[in-house]
Amino acid sequence: MAERAGYRKNGTTRGFKSASGLLQTRIRTASQSRGFAETRLLTHWAEIVGPETAAQAHPVKVGYGRGGMGATLTILTTGAVAPMIEMQKEQIRERVNSCYGYTAISRVVITQTAPTGFSEGQVQFTPAPKAKTGITPQARAQAAQMAGSVQDDGLKQAIETLAGNVLSKAKQ
């Protein structure tokens, strides 16, 4: 029986591969076509430049010059926010270079578009709002009652939190 390329059957995986392993090469080739040798710059943009800047600007391209001495990072933003991003260019460059681990980016260029982009189907830059999870007072009281007989304070608090979250989710 011939094995497919990339799939090895051993005792722990039973012939299966993780989804990240299957997509890693495709993501790398797609990002390298836009100049992103380090995909972490795209996937962790908000962590690298901060949530405020990430909500207003996105990396578009990394262009390398002919001499190969430093690259140019192109950032897409809206016209109204561009002057603020322009003032933060040096901070963005330093943070991106810390992501690469060396001085990979020598220039940052800002490009501006309308909030909806060039076509009607474009989406806003703002990330999706985080879901608010609040434990209702009734669920908190039930959770405290369930964890009432536990002696250890840390364990009791963890059980109360878990039970409160489960009871709140069940009601939603």
- Amino acid at residue number 64: Y
Q: What's the CA gap between 110 and 83, in Å, rounded?
A: 9
Q: How confident is the model at residue 121 (pLDDT cuts 50, 70, 90)?
A: very low
Range(s) of the domain holding residue 166: 137-171
CATH code for position 41: 3.30.300
Q: How confident is the model at residue 91 (pLDDT cuts 50, 70, 90)?
A: very high
* Predicted TM-score of the model (pTM): 0.48
Residue 8 confidence (pLDDT): 54
Quick check: is 8 in a domain?
A: no
Mean pLDDT, the chain, integer = 75
User: Same structural domain for residues 159 and 107?
Assistant: no
C-alpha 51: how far from chain center = 10
| Three-state DSSP class for residue 92 | helix
Q: What's the CA gap between 160 and 153, in Å, rounded?
A: 10
* pLDDT tens column, 26-37: 655 655 554 455
Q: How confident is the model at residue 11 (pLDDT cuts 50, 70, 90)?
A: low
> N- to C-terminal Cα distance for the chain?
50
Residue 27 confidence (pLDDT): 59
Quick check: is 90 in a domain?
A: yes
User: Same structural domain for residues 162 and 96?
Assistant: no
Question: Residue 161: in which H helix or E strand, if any?
Answer: helix 153-171
Handedness of CA 56, 33, 38, 130 (dihedral sign): positive
User: Same structural domain for residues 25 and 103?
Assistant: yes
Quick check: is 62 in a domain?
A: yes
User: Same structural domain for residues 37 and 96?
Assistant: yes
Q: Among candidates 97, 91, 161, which has minimal Cα distance to 133?
A: 161
* pLDDT tens column, 94-116: 998 888 788 888 889 998 875 55
